[in-house]
Structure 1
């Protein structure tokens, strides 16, 4: 483990945290019987919680297998385990017996298949009769069995030297990389391998043949797609004769500027491939690589029939007559509205069945009769469950202050299996029985993974508040009150600035940006769903692109001014602003435009210099769409000129408030030089500032001790400036 590094300005002493965070008992890598020293949430309590990662019902609907991650702060690592429970929540048991992680549990032929040390294993539902059935020298990264159980898709990585060239054999110790095109690194790693899906037979004894067929044999493309794609990007047909898969068949600069992925149909017997998104004979349309694709021919009305945007995550209908997938309309726009597309094999027609739902479809599943699809999507700051029929008639099934983050068949009539979380509860598994109307839908909690910890904690109350924006619209703000709230007191208050820029401020549970731990530390949290977030219609969501420093920044000010002027428990003399990614950019911008409203700032992985950011980021389509032009283009569009003219680094002369900058050096989406630049500028200005830099973290903070260091530094900074 690398040593943590805190770089602190020489003139500013690093104050040790003296607030209410207390050391907790060390937790083993497994479910903890931790006894807390306080009713208030601490970082150690959060890291002791089990994190449910997946859930799947057995074919008869009686059992659920799921994966949980447990973390050890002392050992600074995690262990993934496999558990089962009856569908009614009884007979919950952990099946994992070894010390290493076991992951990706799924049902096949009545047994549980899973990954361990890069190989596929199976076991009975009670954890007995464990058998290793693959022999790949530990190279399996994901898998999916065919419905008939006779074949399996295996995802493995292959060396990729098209862009980063292989070093000469006689220089085995050379560490240099010779790079010849764009997309040479992605998210947090250099692209020197790509994943490919292979097909293998399952032998009569249940083992997997070592002879495998590469679905993308000889093609320099990845499947699943970087950086977050998984096995959900491939699907077997009910007949087990075809596979639908997701792929963006581009490399280098073409890849870097485009979001055009398609759904392909692969015939297992003939090995023929058909593109379901593009017309036969389609010829790629040339594009300008340094200008937004909003007004380019690739996104013309005529070409939209060829699905130029993201198309991902196919699922066949149970009767095999259709395949559905998530579809974004336009190329270059990674935050376009995700719609549910249904392709009918008999006619070749593509129908979009969620058009009346003016927000994103995040996940979906087919009903057993192949006539209905259930999906989850965000609306007004909550991710609820909906259904649509083949005609596109959408109805809502749940109406909770919660986020349903997955949906799947429960294999028991029309019941659904879901994972659910909220601002006050980490993820658990639920069974949903749809009703004819929302109030008749039945929701049953199956797991209570962290009850032993949650029962010891006091959480702050969550409230909803609608605030008028400067353009006369209504904006939803979540208000989270301190855990020991007293209405007669005044509290320091934090404005939370969301990332994305098009990510919802929903009922998410985070293990870092956790509103309840902020409440436990005595802060009121104001979390606005500003312009530019999904869940309030397409017009609201798209307003931010090309206008990063306009209406959305006015919305932040409207939210904090409303709280300071109208909520008697908010102390207007003790206000802070915090945020990550676009939220970090927002903090850097507000630092030069807040008119002394705030007493301190915290920016995590935020963009500081947008000209630098344009060429720093690896996914060039993002900057093209959001800024509209490369900064060197002449003439710039009006939006591009406004964007670059209002870059936060151009207003450092107005900075007058203490700021903490946090960044991961393996963040290749927003490079660490952005954090270095902001911190260095603050110190050159003589402003109290600190920089928390993580050499081994990416856009997130994933290691337990780094996570606790992050929390202690975060609250140490806030307490220093807001609790005087």
Structure 2
């Protein structure tokens, strides 16, 4: 036993020496990493064409390049000579690549040579461009002025007016004021480079496709026979739009011009439509409850000929992130969160089991990583994007028989090879109601259990987004740990991957059990001898920022410092300024003037951080985006002003051009530098 003890000490010493000899992650180094984008497999299955974005910090912009790599892995070859945002439309059977760039369609070979402009006239202001399977139709989206909101549109003789006139809600969304323009789907004839008979298939409707702000080309597809278009749309306007999540799938017949609602009577989110190869089956992601954006996400399968629909994940106790049909149409591969990680699953459609039965579902991959999305499938291999808390996304090949994974791309190996990695452990914690809660613990690369470390409680946003093995370029655990901090990140109530009941439990209980879960996590890790109990901090954004504000009033001297980014400070003023009201109505119970609504009144009273400001006594840094209309500017300003007037050491980082996130490279570096400067000052 004594020899084993000394061997372990020697092993830790060697590991520490190795970690110290390597470079530590820094904010500047993080922004040098390449970011994997879209990818297309060639028809023969031998190669991938994919995009990588690197950020030019001096120019404060991303630079996108296309590469080709063997599907089995190997040397990547750049096939574009200059950076540019090229949207790959398709890889043709002969290997040529058709892409959209600078308002035109282009073709090049797999080596980036023989570049030819295909279109004879520009497709101005077009996005999400697609060609029909037979190449005779082209589809795209474009902003169309439908409602006259701006002064210059209402009064043409006043072209320099910047006034807005509103008579209904949804006057702004995420980071944009409503200007009366809506994203519509267009279809046109395409023949030998000429685009003719351009038609807005949504007519003069005040509705958007794709769904804003995060929808893309997945919201509109051609049928395999090229005779129709399927598009996703929430055909509601004003107050109805602001209080509903009910998107539907619409089928537009290209010959008759008739539009049909395929999901009439299905009241939640319906999106991500996909046909099998023959066009006999159509599948999509579907939620049941209107107004609940974090409802269980199921896969619905429809027989195109009969119209019969089956929920093929109905009895499975988790929620689906994304899916893809197998080439033969007999299986559906999908990604879902499970026990704090995202993994690859399959549904075998050939099994004779009850519709929606979990017996038809098999988990393919197992491991401490996230399978983020499915890129392609060829034979017994599925290609996926994979991350973990030490590595940004790379393309991997998965053996569907045994789940074995082989790395295909190695975008950042030149950096990783010289970088000290963090140890990441899964820790299981008993909550105050005797539940088992998973938490991720991330250690500094040179971790020494004989030392004591400052420790941060990370509060996840959402509130129902997964805390899995993701890799963020802002809330980057590898970066935080490299500065000498232990991070504990609990899968508190409200997160997917631990059953539907656990996921739902946070709605209407924001400041209740989830806060107890957070305190259970920090109390549990604080029992370790390597945690400095006098140097504990608490950080988070969005609902995580709300959690920071809430914990600042109830933590009972546990924490020495706080950082809140775009957090909800006062629920009454937040309800009066946020835009997607379905979220507030579901998660905090509704408006504040309905005195008979007990759930809402409890939220505005017991779970409102501003009601606990009298108990604030700890330094706090507040970050607020000026264009965040989900959690508007008054939230951060109210919190900062209260802290200042109470004489609490506090700092406001105001980002006037940022929304709910930090998207501009130089602003992101300021964010990270101020974040760590604050921790050095206060922790």
Give the TM-score range, shorter chain. over 0.9
Q: Aligned partners of 2:285, 2:122: CA distance in 1, in Å?
A: 32
Query: Aligned residue for 1:409?
Result: 376
**Alpha-carbon distance between aligned partners in 2 of 1:164 and 1:261, rounded to the nearest angstrom:** 27
Tell me, in whole angstroms, the C-alpha distance in 1 between the residues paired with 2:428 and 2:628: 35
The answer on 1:329 being equivalent to 2:288 is yes
Residue 539 of structure 2 aligns to a residue whose secondary structure is strand
Please point out which of 445, 448, 451 is paired with 2:407.
Answer: 445
Q: 2: CA distance between counterparts of 1:164 and 1:683?
A: 38
CA distance in 2, matches of 1:642, 1:702: 31
Q: Mean alpha-carbon deviation: is it higher for 308-317 or for 266-275?
A: 266-275
CA deviation after TM superposition for structure 1 residue 619, in Å: 0.5
Confirm or deny that 1:648 pairs with 2:609. yes
Asked if 1 retains the 8 angstrom alpha-carbon contact of 2:541 and 2:565, the reply is yes
- Correspondent of 2:400 among 422, 427, 434: 434
For 2:187, the equivalent position in structure 1 comes to: 199
- Corresponding residue for 2:171? 184
User: Unpaired runs of 5+ in structure 2?
Assistant: 1-19, 350-354
Name the counterpart of 1:292: none
SS at match of 1:692: strand
SS for the counterpart of 1:259 is coil
Shift, 1:163, TM fit: 5.1
C-alpha displacement of 1:459: 1.5
Alpha-carbon spacing, 1:643–1:468, altered in 2? closer, same or farther (3 Å): farther
Cα offset, 1:105, TM superposition: 5.5
Give 1:648 shift: 0.5
Which among 531, 552, 555 is matched to residue 594 of structure 1?
A: 555
Contact 2:625 2:660 in 1 (8 A): yes
2:147–2:206 CA contact under 8 A, matched in 1: no
Q: Distance between the aligned counterparts of 1:97 and 1:138, measured in 2?
A: 24
Cα distance per residue 1:158-179 (max 9 Å; x no partner): 1242555624122222112112
The answer to whether the 8 A contact 1:631-1:644 is kept is no
Distance in 2, matches of 1:191 and 1:153, equals 25
| RMSD, aligned α-carbons | 1.7
Asked if structure 2 preserves the Cα contact closer than 8 Å seen for 1:163 and 1:184, the reply is: no
Matching residue of 1:394? 361
- Contact in 2 for aligned 1:498/1:582 (Cα 8 Å): yes
Shift of 1:521: 0.2
Within 5 A, what are the aligned runs for 1:484-523? 484-523=446-485
Match in the other structure for 1:95: 79
Show CA shifts across 1:191-241 (max 9, x none).
Answer: 2222111112231x3x24143122212222111111100001112221111
SS in 2 for 1:707: helix
Give the TM-score of the pair, scaled to structure 2. Answer: 0.93
Quick check: 2:627–2:658 contact (8 Å CA) kept in 1? yes
Question: C-alpha distance in 2, partners of 1:395/1:266?
Answer: 35
Equivalent of 2:48, from 59, 64, 89?
64
2:201 aligns to what?
215
Q: Is the 8 A contact 1:242 1:268 kept in 2?
A: yes
User: Over residues 674-706 of structure 1, what are the superposed CA-to-partner deviations in whole Å (9 max), with x where a residue is unaligned?
Assistant: 001101100000000000000111111111111
Alignment of 1:285-684 (within 5 A): 306-390=265-349, 391-392=355-356, 393-410=360-377, 412-435=378-401, 440-565=402-527, 567-684=528-645
In the TM superposition, structure 1's runs of 4+ consecutive aligned residues that sit over 4 Å from their partners are: 162-165
Q: Is the 8 A contact 2:146 2:204 kept in 1?
A: no
Q: Rate the CA distance shift 1:571–1:309 in 2: closer, same or farther, 3 A.
A: same
Are the counterparts in 2 of residues 197 and 215 from structure 1 also a CA contact under 8 Å?
Answer: yes
The TM-score normalised by the length of structure 1 is 0.88
Contact 1:67 1:80 in 2 (8 A): yes
1:50 counterpart residue number = 34
Query: Displacement, 1:713?
Result: 0.3
**What displacement does 1:101 show?**
3.1
Deviation string 1:10-59 (CA, Å, 9 cap, x unpaired) is xxxxxxxxxxxxxxxxxxxxxxxxxx997110011011111012112112
User: Tell me, what secondary structure is at the counterpart of 2:252?
Assistant: strand
Cα distance in 2 for residues equivalent to 1:313 and 1:208: 30
Residue of structure 2 aligned with 1:274, choices 260, 264, 268? 260
Q: Which has the higher contact order (CA 8 A, sep 6+)?
A: 1
d(CA) in 2 for partners of 1:76, 1:115: 24
Tell me, in whole angstroms, the C-alpha distance in 2 between the residues paired with 1:644 and 1:214. Answer: 49
Of the three residues 104, 112, 115, the one matched with 1:127 is: 112
Query: How far apart, CA to CA, are the structure 2 residues paired with 1:714 and 1:69?
Result: 25
SS of the equivalent of 2:562 reads strand
C-alpha separation between the residues in 1 aligned to 2:21 and 2:503? 43
Aligned counterparts of 1:434 and 1:73: Cα–Cα separation in 2: 40
Alignment of structure 1 residues 140-155 onto 2, 5 Å:
140-155=126-141
1:55 touches 1:429 (CA, 8 Å); kept in 2?
no
The Cα of 1:180 is off from its aligned counterpart by 1.9
Distance (whole Å) between structure 2 residues aligned to residue 164 and residue 533 of structure 1: 41
User: How far apart, in 2, do the equivalents of 1:480 and 1:677 lie?
Assistant: 33
Match of 1:243 among 229, 251, 263: 229
Deviation at 1:604, TM superposition (A): 0.4
Aligned-pair distance for 1:103? 3.6
Question: How many Å separate the matches in 2 of 1:71 and 1:335?
Answer: 32
Contact 1:601–1:660 (CA under 8 A) maintained in structure 2: yes
Q: Which runs of 5+ in 1 are unaligned?
A: 1-35, 279-305
Structure 1 residue 598 displacement after superposition: 0.1
- What do residues 129-173 of structure 1 show as CA deviations (whole Å, max 9, x unaligned)? 222334335312111222222222112221242555624122222
**Residue 251 (structure 2) pairs with residue 265 (structure 1):** yes
Q: Deviations over 1:529-588 (max 9, x none)?
A: 0001111111101111000000000000000000112x2211111000000000000000
Q: Deviations over 1:304-352 (max 9, x none)?
A: xx21000001001112111000001100001111110111123322111
Are the counterparts in 2 of residues 96 and 102 from structure 1 also a CA contact under 8 Å?
Answer: no
Corresponding residue SS for 1:493: strand
Change (3 A) 1:719 1:104: farther
Shift of 1:99: 4.4
- Aligned partners of 2:87, 2:275: CA distance in 1, in Å? 25
Distance in 1 of aligned mates of 2:649 and 2:594 = 37
C-alpha change, 1:208 and 1:542, in structure 2 (3 Å) is farther
